[in-house]
Structure 1
């Protein structure tokens, strides 16, 4: 006589189905960040939607939900380590990594730092009319009064325009123009499309740099890090 399996034999009760649902919940936050970054990068929506709403509001909530999913997964795995242990470990790693990323990146983004920086605050290099027109067309703020970054100073050398242009390229900028005594470029962030403009001014015995964001939103010390990178490229 054929015996019909009871509730205990069903996969949904004793198998991996609950764990798979928990895995899906754990990956929602990183998936949301990925979609937000890709959509912002290709212009489907603004940084206000991609960064502020999807990433730091909805995504942060989903990251906390992922942590809860990890805790539940551990409890369920204790009942059947052989079948559920590995999957529970994966869920915990995803949830912990996502939450850690939010804590680190969130703290970095909230650092009070200027978005218009230079190596010469007394006489900051000016952008060409081409860059200024592009900034105006994009609704960019400023440029205003540029300030210096701690530990970042002028390159104590007179470089060629070609070297200046290469320093910008190495920092991720697309060179707009290189002429005697100057070079300019624009960098569009790969994640959320946050844009920075750069100008390098070349003088005898000294080369100065200016980096200005097109968005006044909190970006942490991104402008200073870009400034330091370009100066380091000039002197390397």
Structure 2
């Protein structure tokens, strides 16, 4: 009777260790759905639940997975599946956290433009959705970022709209001398607004996040992508 009881105890331990390895991914899913359904802000869901608490659980899960492997080595037939599942999930989770931390660690701003002296203004409709942030003419609120430059030509509104669409934005409007778009992130719903200002001999771009959550150089990346779509390919 002692042997079956001991085997049962080992299996229970492996189940708890496997559950610990899955804790971080489960918390991230809770953070995502809670944010998307409006239970808490994106800053809390991403910044606190995911990047702080989730990170701690990810490394704790990896430690639990390693313990599960050690236990399973004594009886791979009973514990091999638990050990493999926990190690794969925990290892992948930690790897994703490290990749995201490196990306988020890039010093960048959430409001960037190719013309810091006079940033393109958002339309009234976009300003209303932004809660009044990004007031027309307030060029100082928007900053430069590496590799983001003005397009030295006047593009057609259709070209501007196509560049926004190619960069993943939903085009909100296109008219002579301007185009606007918005992009909502899949996971936490972070929204970026884009404004393209078209002038004779020059076209400028501005991209700004609504929520103010720091996610590395995402605004810069989006703005550079829009500029690439405005630039003729040789």
CA distance in 2, matches of 1:42, 1:178: 31
Task: Verify: 1:27 aligned to 2:28, yes or no.
Answer: no
1:160 to 156, 159, 163: 156
1:128 aligns with 2:123: yes
Q: Deviations over 1:174-207 (max 9, x none)?
A: 2221111110112222111222211011223332
What's the secondary structure of 2:141's corresponding residue? coil
For residues 104 and 157 of structure 1, do their structure 2 counterparts lie closer, same or farther at Cα, with a shift above 3 Å needed?
A: same
Shift in Å at residue 172 of structure 1? Answer: 2.2
Distance of 2:129 and 2:190 partners within structure 1: 14
Contact 1:118–1:211, Cα closer than 8 Å, also in 2? yes
Partner residue of 2:76 out of 78, 81, 90: 81
Would the aligned equivalents of 2:160 and 2:230 in 1 still touch at CA under 8 Å?
yes
CA deviation map 1:204-226 (0-9, x unaligned): 33321101122333221111011
Counterpart in the other structure of 2:62:
67
Matched, 1:48 2:43: yes
CA distance in 1, matches of 2:81, 2:157: 56
Indicate conservation of the 8 Å contact 1:41/1:190, yes or no.
no
Normalising by structure 1, we get a TM-score of 0.87
The answer for unaligned runs of 5 or more in structure 2 is none
The residue number in structure 2 matching 1:211 is 207
| Alpha-carbon distance, 1:232 to partner | 1.5
Shift of 1:114: 1.4
SS at match of 1:136: coil
Moved more, 173-182 or 105-114: 105-114
Structure 1's 227 and 62: CA in aligned 2 closer, same or farther, altered over 3 A?
A: same
The residue aligned with 2:169 is 173
Q: Does residue 8 of structure 1 match 2:3?
A: yes
* 2:108 equivalent in structure 1: 113
CA distance in 1, matches of 2:70, 2:208: 50
Cα pair 1:161 1:183 within 8 Å, conserved: yes
Partner-residue secondary structure (3-state), 1:212: strand
TM-score by length of 2: 0.87
- Number of residues of Structure 1 aligned to a counterpart in Structure 2: 228
The 8 Å contact of residues 112 and 220 in structure 1, kept in 2 or not, is answered as yes
